[in-house]
């Protein structure tokens, strides 16, 4: 757990050195980098606890909304999400605004909410303790620290109470996915042969969109491996041939966007798992990169995380609704059964139906929101995968990055092309709806 303290150590040292020069070091305590570091610590716990991509999106959305709602009551022009998100009634304003350090309270709200939604609570408690130490070392008066902590905790409680009504608990005991013998339907894939993840995710309350099936796409091509002229046969052939001729660049793209939270590795008779950031977590990290690149202040940084997280949440709901409606077989299963028993995709196939591509939906939704916030041509270097041993990649825009993320699933051999193309359409529709309906920035 020591590493969680180390994140804040440089800031603590800077603050301690500055206390003799001025009573309160707001430059450190109100740094947007501090907020991004705290979100990164939440991501580290999400990875550690191996949350699935849809569940991870739920953790991000409620945590970042809690932080944002504090800022919305700071009098800086940001508007509350109450009445804009389904089921979210008025959130509390502080009894005495002058007694609140709003950035510090937002950090407390974010981390307190996150702590309640993960397994390794001790890791987030250590983050909370470090933030409180930072506030004290920054010279924030005791009465302001106490009032700000209380307000952040109050906001976290309100958001967590709202969170409990999203039907998540009910889906924990829902009917499990049943494998059928019908041709063309999804079945578990090697090497873990895991059961389908979150088959009832379309029952989770949406954030902005009206329903899980608001943005339905055309059904995938009908399963047909007997006719070489059929669309299904052709799209299978594309993936098979591509997998046999991947370039080093295509492999690098597939690896960069893999974002598999649980990969089972086999070495002889030994198996072991490796953990990675989820696709939603990757885009949450890009939020911090974008905010730093654009020199966004604390409040806009908080707004960025919340707005993208809302798009992520609705994108996963829409995508999972289609996945378990179309229930389409994965390329690996088709190719192994009909053509080549030894063929393996470059990436490990994730445990849920194929259509549409989750990466395509959530990446495009996120990129659409980020484009609205920072413009269509903000170039950035994405270092999100450095923690997992992969080099950074440069992109001329958010939409260029989202397009590469979508196409990476073709290179990885885990999606057919229609899942990618229609997933992009779904993601754009979700992102545009979030941009249209949410009134957040001044």
Domain ranges (residues) in the chain? 2-169, 180-437
β 270-274/263-267 pair status: antiparallel
**Rama region for 405: left / alpha / beta (φ>0; ψ in -120 to 50; rest):** alpha
Residue 267 tokens, joined: 């070495």
Measured in degrees and rounded to the nearest 5, phi and psi for residue 223 equal: -60, 125
pLDDT at 6 (0 to 100)? 41
Q: Let me know if the fold of 2-169 is the same as that of 180-437.
A: yes
Q: Is the distance from CB of 131 to CB of 73 less than 8 angstroms?
A: no
Q: Which residue has the tokens 């702590």?
A: 115
The mean pLDDT values, 10 residues at a time, for the chain of 442 residues are 44 44 72 98 98 98 99 98 97 97 98 98 98 96 98 98 98 90 95 96 98 98 98 98 97 98 82 92 98 98 98 98 98 98 97 98 98 98 97 98 98 98 98 98 95
What is the rounded distance in angstroms from the CA atom of residue 322 to the CA atom of residue 219?
9
Q: CATH code for 180-437?
A: 1.10.606.20
Nearest to 206 by CA among 357, 347, 311, 114: 311
Q: Is the distance from CB of 355 to CB of 232 less than 8 angstroms?
A: no
What is the rounded distance in angstroms from the CA atom of residue 227 to the CA atom of residue 113?
54
CATH 3.40.50.720 fits 2-169, yes or no: no
Q: Which residue has the tokens 């933030």?
A: 131
Tell me the whole-structure pTM to 2 decimals.
0.95
Kindly list the distances between the CA atom of residue 162 and the CA atoms of 18, 62, 69, 184, 207, in Å, as whole numbers in the listed order.
Answer: 40, 9, 13, 39, 12
Q: Is the distance from CB of 370 to CB of 398 less than 8 angstroms?
A: yes
pLDDT at 21 (0 to 100)? 42
């Amino acid at each position: 757990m020591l590493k969680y303290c180390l994140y804040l150590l440089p800031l603590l040292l800077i603050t301690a050195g500055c206390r003799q020069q001025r009573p309160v070091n707001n430059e450190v305590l109100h740094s947007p980098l501090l907020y991004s570091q705290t979100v990164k610590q939440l991501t580290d716990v999400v990875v550690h606890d191996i949350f699935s991509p849809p569940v991870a999106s739920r953790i991000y959305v409620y945590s970042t909304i809690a932080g944002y709602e504090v800022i919305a009551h700071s009098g800086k022009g940001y508007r509350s999400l109450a009445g804009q998100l389904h089921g979210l009634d008025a959130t509390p304003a502080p009894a005495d605004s002058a007694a609140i350090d709003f950035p510090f309270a937002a950090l407390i709200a974010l981390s307190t909410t996150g702590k309640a939604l993960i397994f390794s609570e001790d890791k987030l408690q250590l983050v909370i303790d470090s933030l409180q130490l930072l506030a004290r070392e920054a010279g924030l008066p005791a009465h302001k620290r106490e009032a700000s902590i209380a307000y952040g905790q109050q906001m976290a409680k309100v958001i967590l109470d709202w969170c409990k009504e999203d039907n998540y608990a009910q889906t924990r005991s829902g009917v499990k996915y049943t494998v059928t013998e019908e041709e063309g339907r999804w079945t578990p894939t090697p090497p873990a042969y895991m059961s389908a993840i979150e088959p009832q995710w379309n029952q989770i309350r949406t954030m902005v969109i009206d329903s899980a099936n608001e943005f339905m796409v055309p059904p995938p091509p009908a399963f047909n491996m007997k006719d070489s002229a059929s669309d299904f046969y052709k799209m299978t052939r594309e993936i098979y041939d591509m997998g046999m001729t991947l370039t080093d660049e295509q492999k690098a793209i597939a690896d960069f966007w893999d974002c598999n939270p649980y990969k089972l590795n086999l070495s002889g008779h030994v198996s072991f798992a490796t953990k990675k950031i989820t696709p939603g977590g990757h885009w949450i990290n890009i939020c911090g990169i974008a905010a730093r690149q654009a020199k966004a202040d604390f409040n806009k940084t908080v707004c960025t995380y919340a707005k993208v997280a809302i798009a992520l949440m609705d994108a996963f709901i829409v995508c999972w609704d289609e996945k378990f409606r179309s229930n389409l077989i994965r390329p690996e299963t088709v190719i192994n059964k009909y053509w080549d028993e030894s063929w393996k995709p470059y990436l490990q196939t994730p445990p849920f139906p194929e259509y549409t591509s989750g990466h395509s939906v959530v990446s495009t939704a996120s990129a659409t929101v980020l484009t609205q916030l920072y413009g269509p041509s903000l170039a950035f270097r994405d270092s999100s995968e450095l923690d997992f041993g992969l080099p950074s990649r440069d992109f001329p825009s958010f939409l260029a990055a989202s397009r590469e993320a979508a196409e990476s699933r073709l290179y990885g051999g885990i999606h057919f092309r229609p899942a990618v193309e229609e997933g992009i359409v779904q993601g754009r529709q979700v992102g545009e709806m979030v941009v249209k309906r949410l009134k957040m920035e001044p």
